[in-house]
Amino acid sequence: MHIVAEVLILILMIFFFYIQAFIGLFYKPKKDLSGRTAVLTGGGGGIGRFICRELVQRRVKVALWDVNKAAADKVKEELQGKGFSNIYTYQCDITKKEDVQRVAVETRKDLGEINFLFNNAGILIAKDILDLSEAEIRRTFEVNTISHFWTIQEFLPSMLEKNYGHIVNTASMAGKVGVAWLTDYCASKFGVVGLSEALRLDIMRRGKDVKVTAVCPFFVNTPLVANVTPHCKPYSRFDKFLEPDDCARQLVEGMERNDQTVYIPSKMFPATISSMLLPRKAGYTVNEFAQSGFFPKDYKFH
């Protein structure tokens, strides 16, 4: 085809996708999850507990994977007490590829092939880069980023074969903007955003219809944030911390709409774009004004 014709078609397609995206702001049908199966890592944690609730409410069979099986069992018991069944729990350290492979076999025996993978487990240390130990830095990447490769390699093949599935990777707003004292965490979560984007293209190139969503929540009131308080203060001057049930609901609704990125709360999306448009120094000044992040215990707020 002549290059001029190619460029014209390209412009028309861009125009079409703009219109589609605009309509999507107001109306996006949700997919039906009922009768499907899901693996949820970090299922015993603060947000995981409520993602599980959202899924079982939609009649999804859920496998909760957690290094802390007792925490996953507690979530299962609590939801069973409310009349929800179809929850299975497994002890799994997702940083160990052999563990992921072994537990995947057990999970398939109990639930059948897996349709949805929620890479949700994560850790946060929050320290000045000069105080981070080698073990801490490696652990952050192992749990927050590298483990995703093991779970995706385990479950993606059957999704591709059936041409149906969804991989939901929980990153963070710290995977979109840098935050002081979170060098390891930000790098690991920017990694999750990059992995999600590249994976989506890998799947598209195969011509398959497996969805990929990256989730970017702001602060959520969970043990992840509470556990850092002995050595620092998480704080935001203007934005309230989210509650984990609200975060999980928005996450699952975004997944149902097949959103590529879910910002929680949604106002974080325009905030991210506008901060990218500001001159760098203006961006830092706005950050200082907003006082959002992790601070030394003795930090004096305005």
Ligand X SMILES: NC(=O)c1ccc[n+]([C@@H]2O[C@H](COP(=O)([O-])OP(=O)(O)OC[C@H]3O[C@@H](n4cnc5c(N)ncnc54)[C@H](O)[C@@H]3O)[C@@H](O)[C@H]2O)c1
Write out the residues near ligand X by the rule CB under 6 A.
Answer: 41-42, 44-48, 66-68, 71, 92-95, 120-124, 143, 170, 172, 217, 219-220, 222-225
For the chain, what percentages of helix, strand and coil (3-state, to nearest 5) are there?
55, 15, 30
State phi, psi for 38 to the nearest 5 degrees.
-140, 145
C-beta of 250: minimal distance to ligand X in Å?
Answer: 12
Q: Which residue is nearest to ligand X (CB)?
A: 45
Chain position carrying tokens 């078609």: 9
What length does the chain have?
302
Residue 68 vs 158, nearer CB to ligand X: 68
Residue 274 class from Cβ within 10 Å (0-12 exposed, 13-18 middle, 19+ buried)? exposed
- Residue tagged active-site, from 27, 185, 235, 263: 185
Query: Least CB distance from residue 162 to ligand X, whole Å?
Result: 26
Give the bridge partners for 90, in sequence order: 65
- Least Å distance, CB 226 to ligand X, is 8
CB of 300 to ligand X, least distance (A): 23
Q: Cβ closer to ligand X: 102 or 162?
A: 102
CB nearer to ligand X: pick between 56 and 215: 215
The residues, any chain, with a CB within 8 Å of residue 107's CB and separated by 6 or more, are 39, 63, 65, 88, 90, 114
* Angstrom distance (rounded) from CA 129 to CA 137: 9
| Active-site annotation holds for 185 | yes
> Which lies closer to ligand X via its Cβ, residue 165 or residue 294?
294
Q: 3-class DSSP state for residue 211?
A: strand
Annotated catalytic sites, by residue?
Answer: 185
